[in-house]
Structure 1
Amino acid sequence: MNLIEILFWVVVIVSVTFFLLGLKSQKGKPKGLVDGQLADCGAAPNCVSSEADTQPEKVVPPLRCTMAEAKAAVQATGGIITTDSDDYVSATYMSKLFKFVDDVELRKDGDVVQIRSSSRVGYSDRGMNRKRVAAIRAQLGANLPPEV
């Protein structure tokens, strides 16, 4: 085999692997609430949460808005609402190329909305979930506190 053939097969194997991971992520579901709070982010750096109190690198501030405003901002940024109640909302975002699914979860907490954004599969998200929360925050407007 020459170098071009080897590169071809590497690209094919990597593409198939990402395609299969994308399919796997489509069959998952959001973590949901755990003891009345958003689920912990875990060890992988592919999640941010306003309730990530034990991992400072994963913390984002809660949203200072109503649940209706937060839902509208999620939808305006490309999220598809999958669960909708008065105090909990989950939504999915899908990547264009390999169809990876990420979850955004919202929990009403007094006068703020707690938020969690996480990838269903993989290890790193290259900061995508933090950027998604920033986009939702920007959609909500200037009345929100700046991101930490």
Structure 2
Amino acid sequence: MSPGSPAFALGYVSFVGVGRARSTRLMAFEGDDEPAATHGERRVRAPRAASRRAARLRTVQMQSDGDDDESRRSHPTEREGYDRMGRVVPYSKGRRTLLWILFSTAVLTASLWWMGRRRASGAPLVSLRAPRPRGVGSGEIRACPSGALNCVTTADSDDRIRDTAYAPPWAYPVGMSPDEAYRRVREVILHFPGRERAALILERPDRRYLYVEFQTPVLGFVDDVELRIDASSSPSQPGTVQYRSASRIGRSDRGANRARLALILQELRKQGFRPVTEAQR
């Protein structure tokens, strides 16, 4: 077939047209600002984003021995692995995650061990102690401050707060000596049945006076409790237990002081103690 023949011209036009079409498709695939694909590499188009500027091409490295039909490499290298989405990620990220998990586990284990030790010793997990108020330990049962909602006492005579702060004294059985009543009250305090931790700070047997600190098991709030056993004014009348219980922190105790005193009285009832309001009936 000679160069000037019609068949040669038709073949040349077909060859040039096919070449230009392939070149146009390749340029449209690569973009105007991307370099052409080199030997051994294959371009993979990323999903179209909202903006053409955000669209990118991923280059997946191919290892080929000259055979164009060999499938592209899909396994990670020695320093790579798969994540949960099936993507190839460096092992360094996995190691950081593993170290973080181990560190968190160690901290949690140490915290649980420390909490167990604190629980075993009876100490609260956190100690929110406030300074000891003035007047406690004096041997006297004082009135509560005006407007106080975190204090209960038998000495309160203020009518404005009598409904919230006042509580009647406890009467011990007729015929029981004040010293015997003092010993029984002290025994109940030392074996307090509630969850709080009772610490006997001061005892004055000559005045039959006890000063106790009660501490909550978790946050370590401290309440001050004072008790004094008074002798009877008449052999036919029972003696009384005067007391005061007040919180150091907070304006309101949410009934904690009265609940504590109720537990103490519950144990003393087994030995004949009762409120004076019941004894007078």
TM-score (norm 2): 0.41
User: Residue by residue, what CA displacement relative to the aligned partner does 1:93-125 show, whole Å, maximum 9, x if unpaired?
Assistant: 101121110011012222212011110121111
**Secondary structure of the structure 2 residue equivalent to 1:79:** strand
1:71 aligned residue (183, 186, 190): 186
| Conserved 8 A contact 2:144-2:153 | yes
What RMSD in Å do the two structures reach over aligned CA positions? 2.4
Q: How far apart are 1:134 and its partner, in Å?
A: 0.6
Higher fraction of strand = 1
Q: Is residue 243 of structure 2 the alignment partner of residue 115 of structure 1? A: yes
**Secondary structure of the structure 2 residue equivalent to 1:37:** coil
Task: Name the CA distance, whole Å, in 2 between partners of 1:76 and 1:33.
Answer: 21
Paired amino acid for 2:248: R
**C-alpha spacing 1:71/1:29, structure 2 compared with 1 (3 Å):** farther
Quote the residue 2:135 is aligned against. 31
| Conserved 8 A contact 2:170-2:276 | no
Quote the residue 1:5 is aligned against. none
| Conserved 8 A contact 1:60-1:147 | no
Q: Is residue 151 of structure 2 the alignment partner of residue 47 of structure 1? A: yes
User: Residue by residue, what CA displacement relative to the aligned partner does 1:3-55 show, whole Å, maximum 9, x if unpaired?
Assistant: xxxxxxxxxxxxxxxx68x13x2x42563267x63122112200101111223
Bigger radius of gyration: 2
| Conserved 8 A contact 1:47-1:117 | yes
Choose 112-121 or 57-66, whichever is displaced more: 57-66
Q: Percent identity?
A: 29
Task: Name the CA distance, whole Å, in 1 between partners of 2:133 and 2:189.
Answer: 17
Between the two proteins, the alignment pairs up a number of residues equal to 126
Q: How far apart are 1:89 and its partner, in Å?
A: 0.9
2:226 aligned residue (86, 100, 105): 105
| Conserved 8 A contact 2:169-2:275 | no
Name structure 1 gaps, 5 residues minimum: 1-18
Quote the residue 1:82 is aligned against. 201
Paired amino acid for 1:92: E
TM-score (norm 1): 0.73
Task: Name the CA distance, whole Å, in 1 between partners of 2:134 and 2:223.
Answer: 9
| Conserved 8 A contact 2:171-2:273 | yes
Quote the residue 1:7 is aligned against. none
Runs of 4+ in 1 over 4 A off after TM superposition: none
Task: Name the CA distance, whole Å, in 2 between partners of 1:62 and 1:31.
Answer: 20
Name structure 2 gaps, 5 residues minimum: 1-125, 173-180, 232-238
| Conserved 8 A contact 1:45-1:123 | yes
| Conserved 8 A contact 1:134-1:147 | no
Task: Name the CA distance, whole Å, in 2 between partners of 1:147 and 1:126.
Answer: 25
